[in-house]
Amino acid sequence: MSRIAALTLTAALLAHTCAAALTLPAAPSTVDTDAERAAWTALMSSDGEYAAVAAYSAVIARYGPVEPYVSVLRAEENHVRALTRQLQRYGVAVPSNPYLGRIPAPTNLRVAAQAWADGEVLNVKMYDDLALLATGDTPLQKVFGNLRAASLQVHLPLFQQAAAAGGTLTAAQMGALRSPSGGPKR
């Protein structure tokens, strides 16, 4: 591994560690079922949707509106809204994103894209595990299934392609990964 790649990987790991080290709001006392804890974890954990929004926001703040980060950020914002609706359905007050402005942008987009491709694989496993906790809660199971599918079928291929292309994707490359209807291929 080159020195630059090692430093970039170290920066990416540091960013993840910084996210994990943040003091997060404890789950409110009203979060008392396994399904509620699963929804809270999917939103608030250092591997959750809030952390993803902050990470992609940091990339865009540093490098400008580059793909696939802009498109994935929009998707992550939708994921946050879906999980927020589930938590509100349980009567849980949802705090603002504690990660925004606290996760640094990576120093190299190619290494970041590969790390995020690997992260999408872990995200699929996270949703598989959380779905087991949501047994009996059909709406939450559906949300977890949709978020899992987005990670596996959309985000993972985008980041794999970006890693192979040097860290970003052109409009033509993004278009090649989209379906004829204009949405991401699934």
Type of residue numbered 156: L
Q: What are phi and psi of 137, to 5 degrees?
A: -105, 90
| pTM, to two decimals | 0.83
Instruction: Return per-residue pLDDT of the chain as tens, 186 residues.
Output: 333 333 334 344 444 444 545 666 677 777 779 999 999 999 999 999 999 999 999 999 999 999 999 999 999 999 999 999 999 999 999 999 999 999 999 999 998 899 899 989 999 999 999 999 999 999 999 999 999 999 999 999 999 999 999 999 999 999 888 644 344 554
**Which residues sit opposite 178 in a β-bridge?**
184
The CATH code for residues 3-22+34-176 is 1.20.1260.10
SS3 160: helix
The predicted-structure confidence for 24-47, as pLDDT tens digits, reads as follows 667 777 777 999 999 999 999 999
Q: Which residue has the tokens 């959750």?
A: 48
Return the structure tokens found at 148: 């899992």
**Cβ distance 27 to 45 under 8 Å?**
no
DSSP H helices in the chain: 3-21, 34-44, 49-63, 69-89, 109-133, 138-149, 156-164, 171-176
CA distances from 158 to 31, 44, 76, 118, 120 (A): 34, 24, 14, 12, 10
Torsion of CA 138, 140, 143, 148, to 10 degrees: -100
Q: Which residue has the tokens 């090649």?
A: 176
Return the structure tokens found at 47: 């591997």
| Every domain of the chain and the residues it spans | 3-22+34-176
